[in-house]
């Protein structure tokens, strides 16, 4: 029958000891990093050593889990533990969590792309993993942010690392630390096995009659065996001297004394305790460190792109900068030097544009050449050749309408043809075709709609990081078009805009109510004045409460006008009219607003409006995100007067609109059509076929609008009394 000690898995690799090397100072690590960069030779192929690496990683997890089970059983049996074993037991939840995290962050495909080493000793090992092993070897597993930053930076003074390697660096550190912990766990188990073997010897001794000679000592005497043997000798009186003499004779053959062995074992345990503590503490550091900030500190490509002549790159948020770096990766070969060359080419093209274009031209920005209109020219400069899949996608985008309608037509024809082939008789072919056309076309549209996100995945728009505040050129007014129907309705409306303002606090983000009265048979009816006074008092109270840096709340009200088509007195053009008149008011025109509450001196400074419905919420800081997108130079709208429309950039930004979690369960209908909801549905990109494939969209009345462009675009294009309240533009 096997015990837990006997159930230990047989290692697939030779069991080396923990990583131990000369402990180096920061300056010594700098020298080591440069020596490694000069010594490492990269293999031509990156598809080497992946099986060996992943097998070792899986074996590390098995050994550590086995060690945890064995040591836990010792605790339950009240057995004494080594200090290193206590570290492993107390922190195994951290070790287990990082093993799972490594499997999630380092898939096979990612490891295949990492540059590998060609030297015989390190054949097929990822370069960045070899760096991690050497760092841990010469620091005894003790890591901190200063060591990590200086080591990687010093390495790159000789050989630049790729963007992928820098992102893999934290995971490789975890892999190396897990490897070191595995070796320490094996050392702990080996010491445990030595103690158990010594105890078994004394069990055999106790079963031997006193007149018989004691059992022979084993050929191999580990230090843990000797220490346990000496401790157990105290329990035996007359035979102890004979056993000790035999042990000393065996040790003398190796030029050692019992005192030397005890000292060596205690030193081994103390060293293992320190190494285990260092490795686990470093593993916890790796799990909690902000690696995105570390990446931007050490990335050479990042340092090049920071030289953006337009000065925009450094003001963008992290996700937008990361998209630019991904574009560099796509355009360059998988070497650090190639990625540096692409980044430098991009900077040079932006600087060349600075000598030709006006100060605010988008070509001054590196993003124009990486992901914008200058991409094709940059591709020619760096001799980039797109793959077959990318060429296919470009053909589809170049002929988007033909692809979309043609695919629907072909699939519909196949569906109709299949129905006709299965129909009995030939006289009913025409009717079968007519009846099958509708469901076949619906199915075809659904298939194409499903296919489009795979060919044109939704992309996150680049944006400026406005967490420090909205700049003056981005001053925005959040407006809620509504009807004043009762004082209770007004109180609800005031509470609504107060909540939205508290979630989007900024002195350059204002909130306004655009109000009309309900339709009526006359221009004025009893009760109008009371409702208007209640709205005015509410806005003034909000400004008194929150307007320390200037008025943040406004009220713009219009009187009723006669509508001959509707045959009633009503607000001109209802919602569309309120928005149009507001944009004209912001540009100094005379409008139909008969009441304006708030500081009117800032109206001409407002560049954007964010339109909400009275039941639409603006989540925390979403206003800043929308403004950051609109202020990005790649999104500045360019209006072509010859066609009276925007030909480049965006005049309207419409975010995803989702139902709240509480309203999803309101009915069976809402549960079916609400889609996925969560705590923050705005963190995921959602596909829209028209936007992703045709780069156009349908404006549903909610979102950010550029005041100047909106005014110019719609004044001459939308005739009066032609758009209903909920028609889509």
Query: Residue 6 has which token pair?
Result: 């006997």
Q: What is the mean pLDDT of residues 254-258?
A: 86
Q: What is the mean pLDDT of residues 228-244?
A: 79
Q: What is the mean pLDDT of residues 252-279?
A: 91
Per-residue pLDDT of 475-495, as tens digits, reads 999 999 999 999 999 999 999
DSSP string, 593-662: EEEEES-GGGGGG--EEEE--TT----TTHHHHHHHHHHSGGG--EEETTTTEEEES-SEE-------HH
Whole-angstrom distance, CA of residue 86 vs CA of residue 526: 82
With bands split at pLDDT 50, 70 and 90, how would you rate the model's confidence at 426? Answer: low
Tokens 């929308």 correspond to: 626
Mean confidence (pLDDT) of the chain:
87
Q: What is the mean pLDDT of residues 556-574?
A: 90
Q: What is the mean pLDDT of residues 161-166?
A: 96
pLDDT of 460 reads 86
Q: Is the pLDDT of residue 606 over 90?
A: yes
Per-residue pLDDT of 625-645, as tens digits, reads 999 999 999 999 988 877 778
Per-residue pLDDT of 686-699, as tens digits, reads 667 777 788 777 77
Q: Is the pLDDT of residue 45 over 60?
A: yes
Confirm if 341 and 299 have CB atoms less than 8 A apart. no
Burial of 502 (0-12, 13-18, 19+ CB in 10 A): exposed
Q: Is the pLDDT of residue 1 over 50?
A: no
pLDDT of 8 reads 39
Q: What is the mean pLDDT of residues 327-352?
A: 93
* H/E segment holding residue 567: none
pLDDT of 670 reads 67
Number of C-beta neighbours around residue 662 at 10 A: 8
Region 472-654+699-715: CATH code: 3.90.550
Confirm if 588 and 708 have CB atoms less than 8 A apart. no
pLDDT of 729 reads 61
What is the 3-state secondary structure of 116-185? EECCHHHCCCEHHHHHHHHHHHCCCCCCCHHHHHHHHHHHHCCCCCCHHHHHHHHHHHHHHHHHHHHHHH
Query: Residue 243 has which token pair?
Result: 């056993």
Tokens 């462009």 correspond to: 709
DSSP string, 412-462: HHHHHHHHHHHSSSSTTHHHHHHHHHHHHHHHHHHHHHHHHHHHS---PPP
Lowest mean pLDDT among 74-83, 97-106, 142-151, 534-543: 74-83
Residue-level length of the chain: 729
Confirm if 458 and 686 have CB atoms less than 8 A apart. yes
Q: Is the pLDDT of residue 609 over 90?
A: yes
Query: Residue 558 has which token pair?
Result: 């219009």
Query: Residue 435 has which token pair?
Result: 């009846």
Percent of the chain with pLDDT over 90: 56
In degrees and rounded to multiples of 5, residue 479 shows phi and psi of -120, 145
pLDDT of 358 reads 45
* H/E segment holding residue 704: strand 703-706
Q: What is the mean pLDDT of residues 412-427?
A: 77
pLDDT of 676 reads 57
Per-residue pLDDT of 63-92, as tens digits, reads 999 999 999 999 999 888 899 999 999 999
Q: How many CA atoms lie within 13 A of 534 on its CB side?
A: 17
pLDDT of 9 reads 38
Of residues 14 and 625, more confidence is placed in 625
Number of C-beta neighbours around residue 282 at 10 A: 24
In degrees and rounded to multiples of 5, residue 706 shows phi and psi of -80, 120
Q: What is the mean pLDDT of residues 389-402?
A: 87
DSSP string, 313-376: GGGB-HHHHHHHHHHHHHHS-SSHHHHHHHHHHHHHHHHHHHHHS-TT-GGGSHHHHHTSTTHH
Q: Is the pLDDT of residue 665 over 60?
A: yes
Whole-angstrom distance, CA of residue 228 vs CA of residue 130: 38
Q: What is the mean pLDDT of residues 278-300?
A: 95
Q: What is the mean pLDDT of residues 51-57?
A: 92
In degrees and rounded to multiples of 5, residue 313 shows phi and psi of -55, -45
Of residues 312 and 729, more confidence is placed in 312
Of residues 94 and 356, more confidence is placed in 94
pLDDT of 515 reads 94
The answer, as to whether pTM is greater than 0.75, is yes
Does residue 26 sit in helix, strand or coil?
helix
């Amino acid at each position: 029958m096997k015990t837990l000690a006997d159930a230990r898995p047989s290692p697939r690799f030779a069991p080396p000891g923990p990583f131990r090397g000369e402990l180096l100072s920061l300056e010594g690590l700098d020298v080591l990093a440069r020596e490694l960069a000069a010594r490492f030779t990269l293999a031509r192929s990156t598809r080497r050593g992946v099986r060996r690496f992943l097998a070792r990683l899986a074996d590390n997890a098995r050994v550590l889990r086995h060690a945890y089970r064995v040591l836990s059983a010792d605790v339950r049996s009240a057995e004494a533990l080594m200090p290193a074993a206590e570290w492993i037991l107390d922190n195994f939840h951290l070790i287990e969590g990082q093993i799972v995290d490594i499997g999630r962050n380092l898939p096979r495909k990612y490891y295949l792309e990492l540059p590998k080493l060609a030297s015989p000793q390190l054949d097929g090992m990822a370069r960045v993993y070899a760096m991690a092993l050497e760092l841990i070897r010469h620091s005894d597993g003790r890591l901190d942010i200063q060591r990590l930053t200086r080591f990687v930076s010093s390495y790159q003074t000789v050989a630049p690392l790729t963007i992928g390697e820098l992102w893999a660096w934290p995971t490789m550190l975890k892999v190396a630390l897990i490897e070191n912990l595995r070796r320490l766990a094996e050392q702990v188990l080996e010491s445990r096995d030595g103690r158990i073997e010594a105890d078994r010897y004394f069990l055999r001794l106790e079963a031997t009659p006193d007149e018989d000679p004691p059992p022979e000592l084993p050929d191999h005497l580990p230090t843990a065996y000797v220490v346990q043997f000496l401790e157990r000798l105290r329990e035996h009186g007359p035979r102890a001297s004979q056993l000790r003499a035999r042990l000393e004779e065996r040790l003398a053959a190796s030029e050692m004394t019992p005192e030397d062995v005890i000292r060596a074992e205690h030193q081994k345990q103390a060293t293992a305790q320190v190494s285990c503590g260092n490795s686990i503490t470093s593993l916890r550091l790796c799990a909690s460190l902000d690696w995105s900030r570390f990446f931007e500190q050490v990335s050479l490509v990042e340092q090049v792109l920071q030289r953006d002549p337009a000065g925009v790159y450094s003001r963008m948020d992290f996700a937008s900068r990361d998209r630019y770096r991904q574009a560099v990766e796509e355009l360059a070969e998988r070497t650090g030097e190639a990625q540096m060359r692409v980044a430098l080419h991009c900077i040079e093209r932006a600087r060349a544009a600075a000598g030709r274009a006006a100060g605010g031209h988008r070509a001054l920005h590196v993003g124009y050449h990486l992901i914008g209109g200058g991409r094709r020219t940059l591709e020619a400069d760096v001799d980039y050749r797109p793959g077959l899949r990318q060429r296919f996608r470009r053909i589809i985008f170049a002929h988007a309408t033909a692809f979309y309608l043609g695919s629907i037509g072909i699939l519909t024809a196949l569906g109709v043809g299949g129905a006709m082939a299965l129909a009995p008789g030939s006289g009913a072919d025409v009717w079968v075709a007519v009846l099958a056309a509708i469901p076949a076309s619906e199915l075809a549209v659904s298939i194409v709609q499903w296919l489009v996100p795979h060919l044109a995945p939704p992309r996150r728009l680049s944006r400026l990081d406005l967490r420090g505040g909205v700049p003056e050129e981005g001053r925005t007014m959040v407006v809620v078009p509504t009807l004043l129907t009762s004082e209770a309705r007004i109180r609800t409306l005031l509470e609504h805009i107060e909540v939205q303002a508290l979630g989007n606090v900024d002195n350059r983000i204002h909130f306004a109510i655009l109000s009309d009265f309900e339709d009526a048979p006359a221009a004025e009816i009893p009760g109008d004045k009371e409702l208007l006074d209640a709205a005015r008092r509410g806005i003034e109270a909000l400004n008194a409460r929150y307007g320390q840096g200037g008025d943040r709340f406004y009220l713009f009200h219009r009187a009723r006008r006669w509508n001959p088509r509707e045959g009633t007195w009503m607000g001109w053009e209802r919602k569309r009219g309120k928005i149009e008149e507001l944009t004209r008011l912001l540009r100094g025109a005379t409008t139909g607003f008969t009441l304006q509450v708030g500081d009117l001196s800032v109206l001409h400074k407002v560049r954007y409006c964010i339109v909400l419905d009275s039941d639409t919420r603006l989540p925390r800081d979403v206003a800043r995100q929308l403004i950051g997108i609109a202020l990005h130079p790649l999104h500045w709208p360019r209006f072509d007067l010859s066609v009276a429309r925007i030909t480049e950039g965006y005049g309207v930004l419409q975010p995803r609109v989702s139902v709240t979690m509480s309203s999803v369960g309101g009915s069976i209908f809402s549960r079916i059509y609400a889609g996925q909801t969560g705590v923050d549905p705005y963190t995921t990109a959602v596909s829209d076929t028209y936007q992703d494939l045709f780069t156009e969209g349908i404006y549903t009345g909610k979102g950010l609008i550029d005041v100047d462009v909106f005014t110019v675009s719609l004044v001459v294009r939308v005739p009066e009394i032609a758009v209903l309240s909920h028609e889509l533009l």
